[in-house]
């Protein structure tokens, strides 16, 4: 019997696997295990608790929390009520929380603790639809707070006390769910305008997890180490729902800062991550002799690792090739929030380095006349919440217009060239795909990150984040010192040295495409400064706007 929706998927997996380990999470310095039976039991208790708070089918309930196992239980609890959740990125500011909770008309919100609750309290006057707040940890509310307040444990206790009537109501609501019912609203990251709420149904997420799982060659004893934010569609589908579909153990890393330590502790067979993580790992070993470098990579990921997956942003080809050469299959996929997210994926038996693989089951792709990637199938979103105009622009004749430019080869492998909106034209009329140049720049070991600039200009320039350790070593060799000013490294000899390296990697592109001038930043792009998305993708437009004055000065 096939699963009709995500509640069916989780309940059947829990019934089938019983006391096998579903989740592993760290508390007080030790990893603790949660069985599938307990996973489902806690989800049912939390769902019954939400019923006692008045949650109705079709309601929205927001989740504002860092990754933790309770996040996953809360998701299933909300879905079992027939409601949809609205996951918010944990680093959001109070004003951003205000917009997304208010725009989604969320009836309640689940938070991790005091820090996140304070964001809600700060904007509560602007959220008339919000009725309750549940916190995973005990919190203090401000005087006069009108919200119903419960801790997570209290919510579950209310649910357990509700007894058979609540269980029957949960069963009734799950039975009434259809595959087309709304499961979640995920807000895209907006820099120059308010973010759009992507509406994804149970069918969108369920078919995407299953389609990805069918080409992933997962086995019952596999363990996936998870660290990407569950508020983002990549981890939501590939870590959360895919492991439930396959019946695997999902181990939660403590944070990005502890990921290397957690790899050693958990010794997973699978890891999903974004290119930035693999780039940083590669940078840490790149200077070693070949044999030692490969050994260091393998040791870092542990003896059980079978597969590394990359998504969320373009993976530099040289990094992918280096991992494969070390015997670590690093497989790149492609998708976006509006496609649930997976459109295509390389797998262990069918991959091409430099591509994002072939489409998964029931997903179609074609390339428009202007090079834009179009896709259709059960993975395509229902639309943007309360934004029919944007929905009509994105989905035309059943095809989702991704905004990405790419190509399909004769074997059906898809390659991504750039974001359509990021393409620019120099004053000489040359069309430039910045992502291609940025990938080329970061292939140099002295360049950690890069953003190119030049729309309407007579040559191309770039903001460069150097590999600080290597460049400081060069400063010592040159005896030129290290001078910083207003966020930039300004030592003339180091700028000249970096430009010479840029010139070398630019030799394979035409003259109009070459980066002729550069600025060296004194620190990497920061999530806290809104320079990176939740999945560590560089926010090019925001960064260029931030440094527009200094970049323009290069042309004077």
pTM metric for this prediction: 0.90
Strand ranges for 205-363 from DSSP E: 223-226, 249-252, 270-273, 307-310, 330-335, 342-345, 358-359
Please determine, for residue 437, whether its predicted confidence score (pLDDT) is greater than 90: yes
* The predicted structure's pLDDT at residue 190: 57
Query: From CA 221, how far away is CA 536, in angstroms rounded?
Result: 30
Q: How many angstroms separate the CA atoms of 193 and 184, rounded?
A: 21
What's the start-to-end Cα distance of the chain, in Å? 69
pLDDT per residue as tens digits for the range 498-522: 999 999 999 999 899 999 999 999 9
- Cα separations in angstroms, 116 against 66, 67, 97, 140: 9, 13, 10, 12
Alpha-helical segments (H) within 257-383:
259-266, 275-285, 290-301, 317-325
Got the DSSP string for 139-201?
Answer: --PPTT--SEEEEHHHHHHHHHHHHHHHHHHHHHHHHH--TTSEEEEEEPP-SSSPPPEEEEE
Model confidence pLDDT, tens digit, residues 227-248: 999 999 999 999 999 999 999 9
Do the beta carbons of residue 57 and residue 50 sit within 8 Å? no
Q: What is the DSSP letter of 382?
A: S
Q: What is the pLDDT of residue 534?
A: 78
Q: Is the pLDDT of residue 1 over 60?
A: no
Quote the CA–CA distance of 349 and 215 in Å, as a whole number: 9
DSSP 3-state of 368: coil
**Is residue 62 within 8 Å of 85, Cβ to Cβ?**
yes
Residue 313 has pLDDT above 80, yes or no: yes
Rounded distance, CA 122 to CA 119, Å? 5
Q: Specify the pLDDT at position 192.
A: 52
Residue range 371-384: average pLDDT?
98
pLDDT tens for each residue of 382-409: 999 999 999 999 999 999 999 999 999 9
pLDDT cut 70: percent of the chain above it: 99
What pLDDT score does 528 carry? 84
Domains of the chain: 46-177 (3.40.50.980), 204-420 (3.40.50.12780), 423-553 (3.30.300.30)
Q: Could you tell me if 519 and 487 are in contact, meaning their C-beta atoms sit under 8 angstroms apart?
A: no
Give 117-131 pLDDT, tens digit per residue: 999 999 999 999 999
**Residue 300 pLDDT grade (very low, low, confident, very high; cuts 50, 70, 90):** very high
The b/e string for 52-68 (b: 16+ C-beta within 10 A; e otherwise) is ebebeeebbbbbbbbbb
Residue 449's Cα: distance from chain center in Å? 18
Where does the pLDDT of residue 189 fall: very low under 50, low under 70, confident under 90, or very high at 90 and above?
confident
Whether 272 and 252 have beta carbons less than 8 Å apart is answered as no
Whether the predicted pLDDT of 474 surpasses 60: yes
Displacement of CA 277 from its chain's centroid (Å): 12
Tokens encoding 168 = 């029957």
Cβ(222)–Cβ(254) below 8 Å: no
Q: According to DSSP H, which parts of 350-387 are helical?
A: none
> What are residue 401's DSSP bridge partners?
374
Question: Tokens 């944990």 map to which residue?
Answer: 90
| Token pair in block for residue 278 | 């693999």
Answer yes or no: is pLDDT of 15 > 60: yes
Per DSSP, the three-state class of 104 is coil
The tokens describing 249, both together, are 């153990």
Cα-based distances in Å from 193 to 90, 96, 542, 544 = 20, 12, 12, 16
Average pLDDT along the chain: 95
pLDDT beyond 70 at 310: yes
């Amino acid at each position: 019997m096939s699963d009709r929706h995500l509640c069916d998927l989780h309940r059947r997996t829990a019934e089938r696997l019983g006391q096998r380990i579903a989740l592993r999470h760290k508390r007080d310095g030790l990893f603790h295990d949660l069985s599938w039976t307990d996973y489902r039991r806690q989800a049912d208790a939390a769902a019954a608790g939400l019923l006692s708070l008045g949650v109705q089918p079709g309601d929205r309930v927001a989740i504002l929390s860092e990754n933790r196992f309770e996040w996953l239980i809360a998701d299933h609890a909300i879905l079992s009520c027939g409601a949809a959740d609205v996951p918010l990125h944990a680093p959001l500011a109070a004003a951003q929380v205000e917009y997304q909770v208010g725009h989604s008309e969320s009836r309640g919100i689940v938070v991790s603790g005091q820090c996140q609750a304070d964001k809600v309290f700060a904007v509560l006057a602007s959220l008339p639809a919000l009725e309750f707040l549940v916190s995973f940890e005990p919190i203090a509310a401000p005087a006069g707070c009108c919200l119903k307040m419960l801790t997570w444990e209290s919510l579950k206790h209310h649910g357990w006390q509700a007894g058979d009537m609540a269980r029957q109501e949960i069963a009734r609501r799950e039975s009434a769910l259809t595959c087309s019912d709304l499961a979640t609203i995920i807000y895209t990251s907006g820099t120059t305008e308010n973010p759009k709420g992507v509406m994804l149904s149970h069918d969108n997420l369920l078919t995407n997890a299953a389609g990805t799982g069918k080409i992933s060659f997962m086995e019952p004893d596999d363990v996936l180490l998870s660290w990407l934010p569950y508020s983002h569609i990549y981890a939501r589908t590939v870590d959360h729902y895919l492991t439930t579909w396959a019946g695997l153990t999902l181990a939660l890393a403590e944070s990005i800062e502890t990921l290397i330590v957690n790899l050693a502790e958990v010794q997973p067979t699978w890891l999903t991550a974004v290119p930035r993580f693999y780039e940083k790992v590669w940078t840490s070993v790149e200077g070693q002799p070949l044999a030692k470098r490969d050994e260091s990579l393998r040791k870092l990921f542990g003896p059980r690792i079978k597969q590394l997956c990359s998504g969320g942003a373009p993976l530099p080809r040289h990094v992918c090739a280096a991992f494969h050469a070390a015997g670590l299959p690093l497989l790149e996929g492609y998708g976006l929030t509006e496609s649930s997210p997976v459109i295509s994926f390389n797998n262990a038996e069918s991959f091409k380095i430099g591509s994002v693989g072939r489409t998964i089951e029931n997903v179609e792709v074609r390339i428009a006349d202007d090079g834009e990637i179009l896709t259709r199938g059960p993975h395509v979103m229902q639309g943007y919440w309360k934004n029919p105009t944007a929905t009509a622009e994105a989905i035309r004749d059943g095809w989702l217009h991704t905004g990405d430019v790419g190509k399909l080869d004769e074997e059906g492998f898809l390659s991504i060239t750039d974001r359509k909106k990021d393409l620019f034209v120099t004053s000489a009329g040359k069309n430039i795909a910045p992502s291609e140049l940025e990938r080329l720049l970061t292939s140099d070991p002295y360049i950690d990150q890069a953003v190119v600039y030049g729309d309407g200009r007579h040559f191309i320039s770039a903001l460069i984040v150097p590999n600080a350790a290597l460049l400081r070593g060069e400063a010592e060799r040159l005896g030129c010192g290290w001078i910083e000013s207003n966020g930039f490294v300004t030592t003339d000899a180091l700028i000249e040295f970096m430009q010479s390296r840029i010139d070398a990697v630019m030799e394979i592109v035409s003259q109009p495409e070459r980066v002729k001038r550069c600025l060296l930043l004194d620190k990497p792009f920061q999530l806290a400064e809104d320079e990176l998305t939740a999945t560590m993708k560089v926010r090019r437009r925001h960064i260029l706007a931030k440094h527009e004055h200094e970049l323009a000065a290069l042309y004077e």
